[in-house]
Amino acid sequence: MSMISCDKVCMSYDKTKAVDNISFDVRKGDFLCIVGENGTGKSTLLKGILGLQKLNSGTITFSGIRAGEIGYLPQRTVVQKDFPASVWEVVLSGRQTKGFRLFYTPEDKRVARENIALMGIEEIKNKPFNELSGGQQQRVLLARALCATQKLILLDEPTTGLDPFVTAELYSLIAHLNRKHGVTVIMVTHDIKNSIEYATKILSMEHDGDFFGTILEYMKTPAAKRIFGGDMNA
């Protein structure tokens, strides 16, 4: 049974059509990478799933999960990089799924400690967030997203600006969450190479047509052949 089903979803951004008639489903345990050209509405689609942006038409339905139970790691911004808080405070803030509150429960703190350990950032938990490297910051924000839920996380270009070694580490970590901890993952990325290595499904959003299916099916598409060249089955 699908956790999320998108049926003929259309969305606009600044009065320009961004998502055009997209249909796909996400099942528990999937690792879906959303790839494609710039301007095809990948990030807009994530916002639609999160309820942060309205649909023009079509439907997004949930089963066994509510919109408030989805962890979200948005694109990196200057504000995030310079956020004036400690690692502990940033991670713990992920428990604020029902609005701002000044006090956290013992359960909130337990969950935050568990996710800090899971991300391997115990040694830096008291450091200021804005003094961390890009890779460390992404681990912190991933721990924050997991504090909202460990059912489903949405990641928007999490490796942008990271060097190849740190990028590979982050992909491996996300794959570990998916395969060993059962976290369902939807990730927007331009990194096709790592996508086909770690993902279980691909949603390719292209100006000349969209594709949704398994990695093997994707590798037979014209988009994949343009990227990798030649006959993918040769």
**Residue that finishes a domain, picked among 92, 126, 148:** 148
114 and 54 co-located in one domain: no
pLDDT of residue 227: 82
**Helical residues (DSSP H) of the chain, grouped into ranges:** 42-50, 78-81, 87-92, 106-118, 134-148, 164-181, 192-198, 215-218, 222-228
**Residue that finishes a domain, picked among 133, 148, 163:** 148
Compute the distance between CA of residue 178 and CA of residue 30 in angstroms, rounded to an integer.
Answer: 8
pLDDT band at residue 165 under the 50/70/90 scheme: very high
Pairing of strands 2-13, 16-27: antiparallel
14 and 54 co-located in one domain: yes
The secondary structure of residue 128, as a DSSP letter, is B
In a domain, 73, yes or no: no
In a domain, 72, yes or no: no
Q: For the chain, first and last CA: distance in Å? A: 35
140 and 166 co-located in one domain: no
pLDDT band at residue 109 under the 50/70/90 scheme: very high
Whichever domain contains 229, its CATH number is 3.40.50.300
Q: Mean pLDDT in the chain?
A: 89
- Tokens 């994949």 locate to 224
205 and 90 co-located in one domain: no
Structural domain boundaries, residue 90:
78-148
Give the residues across from 64 on adjacent strands.
Answer: none
* Paired tokens of 177: 């969450």
31 and 92 co-located in one domain: no
Specify the pTM: 0.90
In a domain, 133, yes or no: yes
181 and 212 co-located in one domain: yes
Half-sphere exposure of 14 (CA within 13 A, CB side): 2
- SS3 of 101, please? coil
Q: What is the mean pLDDT of residues 32-44?
A: 90
pLDDT digits (tens, 9 = 90+) for 115-156: 999 999 999 999 999 999 999 999 999 999 999 888 999 999
pLDDT band at residue 80 under the 50/70/90 scheme: low
Total tally of structural domains belonging to the chain: 2
pLDDT of residue 99: 58
